[in-house]
Amino acid sequence: MARDTSREAREAAPDDAGGAGGLARVAAEAGVSVSTVSKVLHGRSDVASRTRARVQRLLEQHGYGAAPRGRAVPTALAPGGLIDFVIGELDGPWAAQLVRGAEAALHAVGMGLVVSATHEREGGPARNWLDALAERPTRGAILVVPSLTKEHRAELARLGLPFALIAPAEEPPPGVPWVGATNWPGGLAATRHLVRLGHRRIAVIGGPPDRLASRARVDGYRSALEEAGLPYDPALVRYGDFSRGPAYDHALDLLRLPDRPTAIFAGSDQQALSTYRAADRLGLRVPTDLSVVGFDDLDFADWVTPRLTTVRTPLPEMAAVATRMVLTLLAGQAPETTRVEVASELVVRDSTAPPPRAPGS
């Protein structure tokens, strides 16, 4: 079978032009292939430690003193060092729980975490987080970004940075490591709970319709309605962005319908809080007049009044799993699987109850 050497050639060519003797000479003296020398030069982790040390010593002798763009060359399995955690926005408890899980997993192995945000909601071009990764001695990356393009993946490979995604907007290509939650079963469980309480007019406020998690949660809602023999009514379906603002307007709109819902399944706990506020504005009480279910089980869910029934998404565990994937790749090994969905769980509290009785019933 012919071997694809195009990437190796691209990496090696610039260095051969300016180095003392070129990568081929280093490879001959080290008794390894040019590909192996290129991997060491560019900080990739899939080289045995003894071979790496021998090649690195020869690279320094021939004038190749540093990795490209100022990155320090990581050593596979060596203790210490940093892993980057890149997320769209840092505001809110959702991000805090993910960071907590990643930091705990790294602390256990004596490594540190660098956290940065791409600030996607601020308008204008997003921060070039790949440039930031290339300019510091990062050994790997945990990415909570909505989109990871083919070009992004190619640059991460060129930099020799193992990575894993958390809750990607779309299912990544085969071989790309990622961690998510069981969103469809979570939406199913939330809606089943409301059906079993006796609700028949159940609305849903989802996240962005183009996000994998949001679609899966709404699909779970639809499946529970179908299972119960209840009609799917598009008038009871709204899509927001998992934050509080749009959900408030959607909840007001739903609760002002002539035949308003008696329950709302919110696609996130923050959307559930907005539903609380909308109900209060219209003089409705939760759960006497309206039952509400959230999703995530963020810290405040057990502190609001009434305490929120929600679907627990184990965010710290998701981040820990993604972190362990990166550490496995950093050690030159393949993860047992590149796709992990951590189980969600319905947590019943005080925000759900049987629907109010119709007058005269």
The pLDDT > 70 percentage for the chain reads 81
Of 68-72, 105-109, 144-148, 233-237, give the range with the top mean pLDDT. 233-237
**Beta strands across the sheet bearing 202-206:** 237-239, 202-206, 263-266, 291-296, 309-312, 345-347
344 vs 119, 181, 207, 240, 297, CA distance in Å?
28, 6, 17, 21, 10
Q: Of all helices (H) and strands (E), which one includes residue 359?
A: none
CA dist 153 and 141 (Å) reads 12
- What pLDDT sits at residue 340? 94
- What pLDDT sits at residue 191? 98
Round to the nearest angstrom and report the end-to-end CA distance of the chain: 77
- What pLDDT sits at residue 321? 96
Q: Of all helices (H) and strands (E), which one includes residue 275?
A: helix 269-281
Q: Calculate mean pLDDT across residues 252-276.
A: 96
- What pLDDT sits at residue 120? 64
Which positions ≥6 away from 151 have C-beta within 8 Å?
Answer: none
Write out pLDDT tens, residues 17-57: 333 336 677 788 888 876 677 666 655 555 666 777 777 77
CA dist 188 and 223 (Å) reads 7
Q: Calculate mean pLDDT across residues 6-27.
A: 46
Q: Calculate mean pLDDT across residues 179-187.
A: 95
pLDDT band at 63 (very low <50, low <70, confident <90, very high): low
Write out pLDDT tens, residues 83-129: 999 998 887 788 999 999 999 999 988 999 999 888 765 443 444 78
- What pLDDT sits at residue 40? 67
Q: Where are the beta strands (DSSP E) in the chain?
A: 82-87, 112-117, 138-144, 163-166, 178-181, 202-206, 237-239, 263-266, 291-296, 309-312, 339-342, 345-347
Q: Calculate mean pLDDT across residues 193-215.
A: 95
- pTM for the model: 0.75
CA dist 320 and 142 (Å) reads 10
Write out pLDDT tens, residues 314-351: 999 999 999 999 999 988 888 889 999 999 999 999 99
The pLDDT > 90 percentage for the chain reads 56
Q: Of all helices (H) and strands (E), which one includes residue 17?
A: helix 6-18
Residue 130 pLDDT greater than 90, yes or no: no
Average pLDDT over all residues of the chain? 83
Q: Calculate mean pLDDT across residues 184-199.
A: 97
Q: Does residue 193 or residue 16 have the better pLDDT? A: 193
Write out pLDDT tens, residues 140-161: 999 998 778 888 898 898 888 9
Write out pLDDT tens, residues 345-359: 999 999 999 999 865
- What pLDDT sits at residue 64? 54
- What pLDDT sits at residue 118? 81
Helices (H), 122-257: 129-134, 150-159, 183-196, 212-227, 244-255
Q: Does residue 157 or residue 164 have the better pLDDT? A: 164
pLDDT band at 197 (very low <50, low <70, confident <90, very high): very high
Residue 61 pLDDT greater than 60, yes or no: yes
* Torsion sign across C-alpha atoms 91, 189, 199, 259: positive
- What pLDDT sits at residue 147? 76
CA dist 245 and 240 (Å) reads 8
